[in-house]
Amino acid sequence: MIEIANVSKIFTGRGAPFTALDDVSVTIRENEFFTLLGPSGCGKTTLLRVIAGFIDPTHGAVKLEGQDLVKLPPYRRPVNTVFQSYALFPHMTVAQNIAFGLEMLDKPSAEIKATVDQMLELVRMTPMADRKTSEISGGQQQRVALARALAPRPKVLLLDEPLSALDFKLRKDMQLELKRLQSETGITFVFVTHDQEEALTMSDRIAVMNAGDIRQIGGPRDIYDHPAERFVADFIGDTNFLEVELLATEGETARIRLPSGVETEVRAPRDGVAPGPVTLAVRPEHASLSGGDGAALPGTLANVVYFGTDTHFHVDLDGGARFVLRQQNQPGTAQGWSVGDAVTVTLAPGVGQVLRD
């Protein structure tokens, strides 16, 4: 378990001081695949490097199983990092790279050899053991970097955008591979990425970061279906923002009035929001043009964009707002609408999240 308590990092140098981390607190559970997600410059890598020990926090504590890590140099922390550039030692073979951490821990050579073989097996690199790291492909380097970081059996594995240098297909494979490694080794993974899809596919929990602060923590589904604020809703997936009026909240349910005048019930923000004008976030696939139960928003179809797996309908709502909805394509069926048609957007019952800001 890692407890990050009130960690701040202010970089001072030439020019104005820069707050990279602003009083961040989060607890990462044991055996968890935990993802720090955010745009570049949000502080996610800084937080990772604070845990690794490459950056000293200006304030705050980082505790691993109750032990304060901040006082320890990186080489005394039972955490290992998979670097974005892999940082494999170019003067060593694949096997020597994997053995490095164990050698530095002065493990007996028989144990080192056994672990290295096991790690090579784990990342399916056994035939490449004696290659130089410059002689293997990017995907293979990635797997060696993983094996090297896993070999000393760290309590926590830190991964700094490790898949960003791989091409699309390889990245998909590695996402599954990482998930497999995490469950096979039972090691806590802290994964940094700016790719929301990566975060949603692999993580047990995600912390969405912006401007040096964690904006929301939750499971992938929770984050996607119930974004707490506009930034999170906007950063993860596509979202429609509707200006609505909040009438009342009761527990998790909020009663609102849509611009069309229809009243409906949606999810309320966790920290209470006073009645009045608020923003409602609705995912494009949570609405339909086919009617059915739910609140209706009349409008005019402005654009139809075909995407293969699904089609996006751009609707100009009466009252001026633009609503984009997405419907999965069915084989052989044509879309029943064309541009200029008067249509009705129907929100599925219970969907939509009132944002806290």
Partner 1 sequence: MSDAAATRTARSRWLLLAPALAVLIFAASGPLLIVLVYSFLTPGDYGGILWEFSTDAWFNVVFEQDFFTEEVTLADAHLSIFWRSIKLSLLTAFLTFVFGFPTAYFIATRPKDKRDIWMLLIIIPFWTNLLIRTFAIMELIRAEGAINSVLLALGIIDEPIQMLFTEFAILLGMAYVYLPLMVLPIYASLERFDFTLVEAGYDLYASRWRVLRKVIFPLAKPGVIAGSILVFVPSLGAYVTPRVLGGGKQLMLGNLIELQFGAGRNWPLGAALSLTLLAIVMVALILYVRAAGNEEVRHG
Binding site for partner 1 (CB under 8 A): 52-54, 73-76, 79-81, 83, 85, 87-91, 100-101, 104-105, 148-149, 152
Which of 288-315 are b and which e, b meaning 16 or more Cβ less than 10 Å from the residue's Cβ?
bbeeeebbbbebebeeeeeeeeebbbbb
Radius of gyration of the chain (CA): 24
Nearest to 49 by CA among 212, 210, 153, 159: 159
**Residue 151 or 295 with smaller CB distance to partner 1:** 151
- What angle in degrees, to the nearest 10, is found between the helix axes of 168-185 and 109-122? 130
**Residue 98 or 297 with smaller CB distance to partner 1:** 98
Cβ 131 to partner 1, closest distance in Å? 13
Cβ 169 to partner 1, closest distance in Å? 26
**Residue 158 or 223 with smaller CB distance to partner 1:** 158
Whole-angstrom distance, CA of residue 211 vs CA of residue 219: 21
H or E stretch covering 247 = strand 240-250
H or E stretch covering 234 = helix 230-235
Sorted by sequence, the CB contacts under 8 Å of residue 96 that are 6+ apart come out as 89
Cβ 159 to partner 1, closest distance in Å? 12
Cβ 54 to partner 1, closest distance in Å? 6
**Residue 101 or 269 with smaller CB distance to partner 1:** 101
**Residue 108 or 331 with smaller CB distance to partner 1:** 108
Cβ 80 to partner 1, closest distance in Å? 6
Cβ 115 to partner 1, closest distance in Å? 13
Given a contact cutoff of 8 angstroms between Cβ atoms, the answer to whether 195 and 156 are in contact is no
Whole-angstrom distance, CA of residue 184 vs CA of residue 192: 20
Whole-angstrom distance, CA of residue 18 vs CA of residue 41: 11
**Residue 104 or 247 with smaller CB distance to partner 1:** 104
